[in-house]
């Protein structure tokens, strides 16, 4: 029982600042026009255009941490291409917002754990 209470307390204390940082992430995502290439079905965010290349980011927070999202959005990190197997790829467009907006969007993307 003690372990459960301690684990709950640690989770609550570490989640609060993270949730505060992610607040406004959906709005920033839309302001930065990230929905030109992405949708987030789990959050009710539709893409601006219906194209076959639109990527649904629902659930993406399970796979990466905030630091990874920041590196990916600023084109500092590459990953395996989902288009060309066996090749590496960087994010198509470098994030153009402020450092604070980048922090907010990265924290928001980390919260996306529902498909």
pLDDT tens for 41-79 read 999 999 999 999 899 999 999 999 999 999 999 999 999
DSSP assignment letter at 80: E
Beta bridge mates, 45: 40
pTM of the model: 0.80
Q: What gap in Å lies between CA 11 and CA 78, rounded to an integer?
A: 30
Residue 1 and residue 114: Cα distance in Å, rounded?
29
Give CA separation, 35 vs 50, 54, 87, 101, in Å: 11, 9, 25, 16
Q: Tens of pLDDT along 25-51?
A: 999 999 999 999 999 999 999 999 999
Task: Give the distance, in angstroms, between the CA of residue 95 and the centroid of all CA atoms in the same chain.
Answer: 12
| pLDDT of res. 11 | 44
Q: What is the pLDDT of residue 5?
A: 43
Domain boundaries in the chain? 2-27+57-111
């Amino acid at each position: 029982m003690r372990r459960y209470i301690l684990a709950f307390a640690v989770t609550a204390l570490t989640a609060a600042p993270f949730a505060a940082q992610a607040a406004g992430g959906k709005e920033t995502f839309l302001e930065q026009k990230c929905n030109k290439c992405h949708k987030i079905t789990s959050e009710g965010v539709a893409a601006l255009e219906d194209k076959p290349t639109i990527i649904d980011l629902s659930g993406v927070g399970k796979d990466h941490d905030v630091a990874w999202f920041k590196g990916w959005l600023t084109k500092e990190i590459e990953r395996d291409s989902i288009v060309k197997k066996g090749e590496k790829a960087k994010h198509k467009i470098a994030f153009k917002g402020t450092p604070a907006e980048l922090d907010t969007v990265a924290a928001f993307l980390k919260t996306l754990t529902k498909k």
